[in-house]
């Protein structure tokens, strides 16, 4: 059936299936995984034999590749002397495959130099289209939450400035969680971003943000407990998208906001 498809037709069919939500390729013939698991490993040949001495294919080393990607990110981030230069460096960074499927780089919003910097997880569909973080339903909730303690990303309105970014600047496909290696290669950019923005306080929203900033996950245990990382006080909080799914947890989020307001007043 598919033998007569052109390359363009096959690609269009694949893209259509991905848009429908397909995440796996399934072969024409079933595979008995239990049978595969029962197969014993072949005995090791005598090292002195000609067969054992002949070189075989060398397996790739993704760990080393990931280290190279992190090193490249660290070099590019360190060379950026301004926030705009950092944006350009991230746009030029080619080691993260997420950029291939994203519409836009989602860099930041709000005012650099604000006392509070929010670090979210990754862009969603609305953010990918707009090229700005937190513009969908979760972003609208975020704006209302921080406006309640006198903070906002826009100028004027009687609100103190706020600065917002994400760990990942590109949307993961199907809104999946970023993988550890993807987070690792973005951490140098995030560290430099925080240095250049120079906030007094960091808000780490969600597990991905906590993993990147604190090196830990488990937001239900971490939230509300101040920590120190990247040279600044860090307050882990629930992500607004989580609060939309679990409205009962908004009480904890309000408690965290009050804790932030107290720190701002105390250190103001």
Residue 98 lies in a domain: no
* pLDDT at residue 153 is higher than 90: yes
203 in a structural domain = yes
Tens-place pLDDT, residues 20-37:
555 555 555 555 545 544
The H or E element spanning position 241 is helix 240-245
Tokens 């009687």 belong to 158
- Domain span at residue 216 reads 103-266
Q: Is the pLDDT confidence value at 114 over 80?
A: yes
Structurally, the chain folds into a number of domains equal to: 1
What is the 3-state secondary structure of 27-79? CCCCCCHHHHHHCCCCCCCCCCCHHHHCCCCCCCCHHHHHHHHHHHHHHHHHC
Residue 19 has pLDDT above 90, yes or no: no
Instruction: State pLDDT tens for residues 35-93.
Output: 544 444 444 444 443 433 333 334 334 455 678 999 999 999 999 999 999 999 999 99
1 falls within a domain? no
Assign 158 a pLDDT band (cuts: 50, 70, 90).
confident
Percentage of the chain surpassing pLDDT 70? 75
Q: Under a CB-based contact definition with an 8 Å cutoff, are residues 169 and 107 in contact?
A: yes
* Nearest-angstrom CA–CA distance, 117 and 88: 20
- Which residues are 161's β-sheet partners? 152
Task: Write the CATH number for 166.
Answer: 3.40.470.10
Is position 137 within any domain?
yes
pTM, full prediction: 0.76
Q: Is residue 147 part of a domain?
A: yes
Strand 116-120: give its sheet, edge to edge: 108-110, 163-166, 116-120, 201-205, 232-237, 227-229
* pLDDT grade for 140, boundaries at 50, 70 and 90: very high
Report if residue 192 sits inside a domain.
yes
Q: Which whole-number Å values give the CA distances from 123 to 68, 92, 161, 188, 225, in the listed order?
A: 25, 18, 21, 18, 25
Residue 5 within any structural domain of the chain: no
- Answer whether residue 33 is part of any domain: no
Q: Is pLDDT larger for residue 48 or for residue 16?
A: 16
For residue 19 the two structure tokens come to 């848009």
CA 242/CA 50 separation, integer angstroms:
60
């Amino acid at each position: 059936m598919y033998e007569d498809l052109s390359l363009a037709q096959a690609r269009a069919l694949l893209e259509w299936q991905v848009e429908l939500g397909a995440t796996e390729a399934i072969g024409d013939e079933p595979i008995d995984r239990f049978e595969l698991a029962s197969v014993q490993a072949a005995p090791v040949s005598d090292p002195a034999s000609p067969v054992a001495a002949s070189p075989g294919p060398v397996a790739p080393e993704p760990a080393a590749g990931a280290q190279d990607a992190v090193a490249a990110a660290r070099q590019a981030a360190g060379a950026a002397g301004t926030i705009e230069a950092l944006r350009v460096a991230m746009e030029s960074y080619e080691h993260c495959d997420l950029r291939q499927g994203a519409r836009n780089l989602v860099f930041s919003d709000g005012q650099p130099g604000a006392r509070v910097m929010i670090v979210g997880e990754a862009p969603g569909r609305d953010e990918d289209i707009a090229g700005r973080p937190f513009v969908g339903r979760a972003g609208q909730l975020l704006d209302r939450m921080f406006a309640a303690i006198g903070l906002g990303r826009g100028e004027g309105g009687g609100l103190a400035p706020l600065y917002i970014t994400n760990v990942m600047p590109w949307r993961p496909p199907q809104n999946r969680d970023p993988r550890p290696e993807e987070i690792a290669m973005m951490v140098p950019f995030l560290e430099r971003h925080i240095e250049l923005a120079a906030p007094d306080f960091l808000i780490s929203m969600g597990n991905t943000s906590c993993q990147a900033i604190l090196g830990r996950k488990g937001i239900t245990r971490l939230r509300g407990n101040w920590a120190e990382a990247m040279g600044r006080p860090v307050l882990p909080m629930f992500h607004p998208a989580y609060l939309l799914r679990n409205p009962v947890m908004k009480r904890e989020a309000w408690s965290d906001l009050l804790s932030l307001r107290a720190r701002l007043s105390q250190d103001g």
